[in-house]
Structure 1
Amino acid sequence: MRLQNTELMHVEAELRAPVASAQLVRFHFDKPINTLMQDDGNYRLDLCLTPRPQNARACYPNRWNPSRYERIGNLFVVPPGEAMIARSDDCGEQSSLVCQLAPEPMRKLFDTKLEWTDKRLLAGLDIRNANIQGLLLRLAQETKHPGFASEMLVELIGAQLAIELSRYCSDSGESNVAGGLSSWRLRIIDERLREVDSAPTLTELAELCRLSVRQLTRGFRASRGYSIGDYVAESRIEQAKRLLATEQSVKAIAYTLGFSSPSSFCYAFRRATGETPGQFRQSLLKAH
């Protein structure tokens, strides 16, 4: 996968194996992103380790209307043979684990060629599969601190990723999206969650969307494939990551985000990221 403006990308560590490669990458954006990612024959999985720039979104220009941009989540995949334009509304730095996965293992798992439908392309921009994320986090750890038989470990994780990604793609292709939310309702939800404020209640979101809570929860799951409660919780953690990059105290951040106490915030943050807020802040400081 080749990027325009490659001078904005710095590879901090790398491991390679025949089936997969892993890179710890730091991006520096001195202006809002507008980058074309061009295919080199592999799957590209990008798991952000620090918050993405605000309102990160993407378009597949060869497939979609040029004005159609969809939200990018913590983890996205760009399949072989595709070009993707990524955009954002702000600049700064962001770190990711970038995994290049050879297509052959996935081809063997399907009787026919995997078709990247519109539904699958959209699902690939925001992958919330715990198994895939867990494998990539293990890959990031090994890339940062390689040990005995690192290449073999990358190969084994790459094979597991091929299986999990194949399952995810298969499920995305079969899921029923009837009854999903309209694009303007999804946009309103995303805009509300980008506000640095207490987490919205389901009642508030339902009122903004002019729906009942039941219609909202069912429609959101049909559109995105996961619950709106999980989405709100994850969005709050992402807001926390952004605020931890500032000078605000952990206590102030906890109450800003609507947690009942700093301890409940620390518990939720560690459960979601594997680090305490203090440890995450230290890792940000070391990276600069």
Structure 2
Amino acid sequence: MQEAGQAVHGRNGADFSFSTADVSLLHTDMAADGQAIISSDHPLLDLCVTPRPANMRGAFTESWGSHRFETLGDIIFVPPSHPLHLRWDGGGEQYSIRCALRGKLARHRFRTQMDWTDARLLASLDISSHPVRLLLRRLAEEARSPRRDTRLLVGAVATQLTVEICRYLECVTDDMAHGGLAAWRLRLIDERLNKETTPPTLVELAELCSISVRQLTRGFLKSRGCTLGQYVHQNRIDAVKRLLATQESIKSVADAVGFSSTSSLAQAFRRSTGLTPRSYQQRIWRSIGSG
């Protein structure tokens, strides 16, 4: 597993190597306007538990060329022998869980069986799978506090991760890349979501893109593989994470992101992350304090 680039400094991380998976708990200092490359001989998953740097985008340049960069989700998948080039505009501290799948099943499925089409490479940059998220967090917990039968459990989780990622990517077809929204329309949507924390309406986004609501929702689903509502919701949760990391009060965060109450914020946040806003905030503060 390798990461190289400008102004990327890992520190206070921990690496745990098992026969079926390598698990890393990374704390990275990201300088502004940076770039990096992530490459691995093994299938690699990365879950960013803090918001990614502003405008962070990735490209499989060997397949796409040097000019096409796409937005990243909080979970990305880097196929073996497919280096991922990264660019971003803003720096800051980043915490992530990274797992390289080393088992025979993973090698067979991702090296031999999987056809790495354009649509699947694009889908790899945003793995919006709740089971994958839970399994990566379980690996991190086990790596932090190994106990009896840890290696056995890690092997079972690594196998589950392999199956879940295969199922996720096998559902992605080239048809999803056709009939979608034009790149400039997707860019307008992302810019609107990044500019304001309050969520836009479908009518607002349709007018922004100069198309009907029906064209917008159908085209977005084909382009991104998720509904526009799911995408807006995840963007909203990411905004909450950024504000919680600045030590804002829970009420201030709820007001800033447009939630009607702290309880509605807590319900939405826990459904997405498995944590309450307070426990997430305390975890971030403890991590920063120990750095």
User: After the TM superposition, which residues 196-207 of structure 1 pair with which residues of structure 2 at under 5 Å, given as runs?
Assistant: 196-207=196-207
Letter in 2 for 1:53: P
Of 137-146 and 72-81, the range deviating more from structure 2: 137-146
Q: Which residue of 1 aligns with 2:26?
A: 25
User: After the TM superposition, which residues 51-66 of structure 1 pair with which residues of structure 2 at under 5 Å, given as runs?
Assistant: 51-66=51-66
For residues 81 and 192 of structure 2, the distance between their equivalents in structure 1, rounded to whole angstroms, comes to: 35
Of 172-181 and 115-124, the range deviating more from structure 2: 172-181
> Are 1:45 and 1:76, in contact at CA under 8 Å, matched by a contact in 2?
yes
Q: Which residue of 1 aligns with 2:185?
A: 185
Residue 243 of structure 1, CA deviation: 0.7
Aligned Cα root-mean-square deviation (Å): 1.9
For residues 49 and 60 of structure 1, the distance between their equivalents in structure 2, rounded to whole angstroms, comes to: 23
For residues 71 and 212 of structure 1, the distance between their equivalents in structure 2, rounded to whole angstroms, comes to: 24
Distance 1:110 1:123, change over 3 A: closer
Q: Which residue of 2 aligns with 1:34?
A: 35
Residue 177 of structure 1, CA deviation: 3.4
For residues 224 and 62 of structure 2, the distance between their equivalents in structure 1, rounded to whole angstroms, comes to: 23
Letter in 2 for 1:150: T
For residues 215 and 76 of structure 1, the distance between their equivalents in structure 2, rounded to whole angstroms, comes to: 28
SS state at 2:125 partner: coil
> Are 2:32 and 2:88, in contact at CA under 8 Å, matched by a contact in 1?
no
Of 203-212 and 8-17, the range deviating more from structure 2: 8-17
For residues 261 and 80 of structure 1, the distance between their equivalents in structure 2, rounded to whole angstroms, comes to: 45
Q: Which residue of 1 aligns with 2:140?
A: 140
For residues 48 and 175 of structure 2, the distance between their equivalents in structure 1, rounded to whole angstroms, comes to: 26
SS state at 1:248 partner: coil
Q: Which residue of 2 aligns with 1:46?
A: 46
For residues 98 and 156 of structure 2, the distance between their equivalents in structure 1, rounded to whole angstroms, comes to: 17
For residues 56 and 100 of structure 1, the distance between their equivalents in structure 2, rounded to whole angstroms, comes to: 22
Q: Which residue of 2 aligns with 1:149?
A: 149
Letter in 1 for 2:35: N
Distance 1:192 1:77, change over 3 A: same
Letter in 2 for 1:273: T
Q: Share of identical aligned residues, percent? A: 41
Q: Which residue of 1 aligns with 2:101?
A: 101
Residue 112 of structure 1, CA deviation: 5.3
For residues 111 and 256 of structure 1, the distance between their equivalents in structure 2, rounded to whole angstroms, comes to: 45
- 1:163-199 Cα deviation digits (max 9, x unpaired): 1111122111365433211111111111111124311
Residue 31 of structure 1, CA deviation: 2.9
Distance 1:122 1:236, change over 3 A: same
Of 104-113 and 115-124, the range deviating more from structure 2: 104-113
TM-score of the aligned structures, taking structure 2 as reference length: 0.92
Residue 109 of structure 1, CA deviation: 4.7
Distance 1:43 1:11, change over 3 A: farther
Q: Which residue of 2 aligns with 1:267?
A: 267
SS state at 1:81 partner: coil
- 1:137-156 Cα deviation digits (max 9, x unpaired): 21122122222211111111
Residue 108 of structure 1, CA deviation: 4.0
SS state at 1:126 partner: coil
Q: Which residue of 1 aligns with 2:216?
A: 216
Letter in 2 for 1:63: S
> Are 1:74 and 1:126, in contact at CA under 8 Å, matched by a contact in 2?
yes
Residue 261 of structure 1, CA deviation: 1.3
Letter in 2 for 1:30: A
> Are 2:21 and 2:101, in contact at CA under 8 Å, matched by a contact in 1?
yes
For residues 99 and 35 of structure 2, the distance between their equivalents in structure 1, rounded to whole angstroms, comes to: 21
Q: Which residue of 1 aligns with 2:14?
A: 13
> Are 2:24 and 2:97, in contact at CA under 8 Å, matched by a contact in 1?
yes
Contiguous gaps of at least 5 residues in structure 2 = none
TM-score of the aligned structures, taking structure 1 as reference length: 0.93
> Are 1:206 and 1:216, in contact at CA under 8 Å, matched by a contact in 2?
yes
Distance 1:120 1:276, change over 3 A: same
Residue 247 of structure 1, CA deviation: 3.8
Of 251-260 and 90-99, the range deviating more from structure 2: 251-260
Distance 1:160 1:257, change over 3 A: same
Distance 1:109 1:80, change over 3 A: closer
